[in-house]
C-alpha cells in the first residue's frame, strides 16, 4: 500500500491534473519516518474518485469492524486516510466489506485511538505500536512512545548502546548453547560468561594506591595485563550508572523474549595469573540455558 502525506487543496488539485496528464501516481514523503515494512501490493489508482458510505464495514484479516468514514480519515498522513481517500481501489470480501490483509487482533485499539484518543492497556502497547507503524499513525506512535513499556525500553537501549557488541554476543550465547545441547543430547546447556563493568584492582594490594576503583596504567603496563578470560562470552567494560546486575537482567530478559529460559549465578572470578602477583578478578557467571 502507498502512504500519502497531507497536502493543501491547491496541491491536491495540482496532483490530480498531473496524474491525469501522465497517468502515473505521485508519491509523497510521509509526515513521520516509517519502518521499511512489507505493505503488500500498492493500491490501484482509480480513474474517478470512489464514493464511500458514511459507515464503513471492514474485514481486517477475518475480523469484522464498522466505523465512520470520518474516523478512518481522522489523520490525513496515514495509510487508512489514503486508502479511503477515494483515489484507490480497495478489495471487498463476499459480503461487501472493505478488506485489509492484516491481523485484526489489535485493529480495535487503532480505531479506539482514532475515535477518541484512547490508548491501549499496557500489555497491548508493544503490539499496537507495531500496528501504528504499519498504518503510519504518527500521533498514536508519539503517544505510545511516551508510555511504559516503550519509555523504559528507550532508557534500556541507551544503556545497551554503550555495548555495540551486545546483540552479537547474545547470538553467540544462543548458538553455543544450542550446539552444546545438541552434541550432548541434553535438555540444557551451561556456559561461562564474564560480565564486568570496569577493570577492578588486580589484587588487594593495589587498592590503597588509588582514590577510586578506576585507575590508569601506562600503555606499556596495560599490555602486560591484556588477556582474555577463559569463558564462552565476555561483556564489558562500560561507563554508566547501570551495573553488572542490570546487564545480567538485560541478557536474561532478552533471551526470554525469544522464548529461551536462562538462569544465571556467579561462580567466582577469573583468577587468571597475569604477571608477578597480579591476578584477574573479573566475575564469572554460569548461565544455564534450558531448551525444553
Domain boundaries, the chain: 55-158, 162-205+228-290
Q: Whole-model pTM?
A: 0.65
pLDDT, average across residues 165-190: 96
- pLDDT at residue 217, as a whole number: 56
Query: What integer best gives the mean pLDDT of the chain?
Result: 82
Q: Please state, as a whole number, how many other Cβ atoms lie within 10 Å of the Cβ of residue 140.
A: 24
55-158 adopts what CATH topology?
Potassium Channel Kv1.1; Chain A (3.30.710)
Q: How far from the centroid of its chain's Cα atoms is residue 198's Cα?
A: 28
238 close to 197: Cβ distance less than 8 angstroms: yes
Mean per-residue pLDDT, 271-279: 76
Which of 225 and 89 is assigned the larger pLDDT? 89
Digit-coded pLDDT (tens) for 102-136: 999 999 999 999 999 999 999 999 999 999 999 99
Instruction: Pick the more confident residue, 276 or 50.
Output: 50
- 236-247 in b/e form (b: 16+ CB < 10 A) is eebeeebebeeb
Sign of the dihedral through C-alpha 48, 51, 56, 62: negative
Instruction: Answer whether 149's CB lies under 8 Å from 125's CB.
Output: yes
Considering Cα of 113, then 117, then 121, then 122, what sign does the dihedral take?
Answer: positive
Q: How would you class 180 by CB atoms within 10 Å of its CB: exposed for 0-12, middle for 13-18, buried for 19 or more? A: middle
**Which long-range CB contacts under 8 A does 113-120 form with residues at least 24 apart?**
113/137, 113/139, 113/140, 113/143, 114/67, 114/71, 114/72, 114/74, 114/75, 114/80, 115/67, 115/71, 117/143, 119/143, 119/144, 119/147, 120/144
Neighbours of 127 (CB within 10 A): 14
Average pLDDT, integer, range 251-261: 96
The pLDDT > 90 percentage for the chain reads 65
Q: What are phi and psi of 174, to 5 degrees?
A: -65, -45
Burial of 192 (0-12, 13-18, 19+ CB in 10 A): middle
146-174 pLDDT per residue, tens: 999 999 999 999 999 999 899 999 999 99
Is residue 240 classed as helix, strand or coil in its secondary structure? Answer: coil
Amino acid at each position: 500500500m502507498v502512504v500519502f502525506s497531507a497536502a493543501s487543496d491547491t496541491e491536491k488539485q495540482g496532483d490530480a491534473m498531473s496524474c491525469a496528464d501522465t497517468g502515473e501516481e505521485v508519491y509523497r514523503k510521509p509526515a513521520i519516518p516509517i519502518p521499511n515494512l512489507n505493505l503488500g501490493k500498492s493500491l490501484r489508482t482509480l480513474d474517478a474518485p470512489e464514493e464511500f458510505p458514511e459507515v464503513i464495514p471492514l474485514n481486517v484479516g477475518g475480523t469484522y469492524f464498522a466505523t465512520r468514514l470520518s474516523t478512518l480519515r481522522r489523520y490525513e498522513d496515514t495509510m487508512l486516510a489514503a486508502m479511503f481517500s477515494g483515489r484507490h481501489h480497495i478489495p471487498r470480501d463476499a459480503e461487501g466489506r472493505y478488506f485489509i490483509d492484516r491481523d485484526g487482533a489489535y485493529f480495535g485499539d487503532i480505531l479506539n485511538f482514532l475515535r477518541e484518543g484512547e490508548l491501549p492497556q499496557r500489555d497491548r502497547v508493544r503490539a499496537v505500536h507495531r500496528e501504528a507503524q504499519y498504518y503510519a499513525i504518527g500521533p498514536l506512535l508519539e503517544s505510545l512512545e511516551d508510555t511504559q513499556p516503550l519509555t523504559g525500553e528507550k532508557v534500556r537501549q541507551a544503556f545497551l548502546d554503550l555495548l555495540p557488541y551486545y546483540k552479537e554476543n547474545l547470538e553467540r550465547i544462543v548458538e553455543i548453547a544450542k550446539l552444546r545441547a545438541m552434541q550432548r543430547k541434553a535438555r540444557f546447556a551451561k556456559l561461562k560468561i564474564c560480565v564486568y563493568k570496569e577493570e577492578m584492582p588486580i589484587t588487594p594490594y593495589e587498592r590503597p594506591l588509588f582514590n577510586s576503583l578506576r585507575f590508569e596504567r601506562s600503555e606499556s603496563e596495560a599490555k602486560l595485563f591484556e588477556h582474555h578470560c577463559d569463558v564462552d562470552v565476555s561483556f564489558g567494560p562500560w561507563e554508566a550508572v547501570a551495573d553488572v546486575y542490570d546487564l545480567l537482567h538485560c541478557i536474561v530478559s532478552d533471551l526470554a523474549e525469544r522464548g529461551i529460559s536462562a538462569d544465571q549465578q556467579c561462580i567466582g572470578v577469573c583468577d587468571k595469573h597475569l604477571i608477578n602477583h597480579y591476578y584477574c578478578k573479573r566475575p564469572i557467571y554460569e548461565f544455564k540455558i534450558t531448551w525444553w
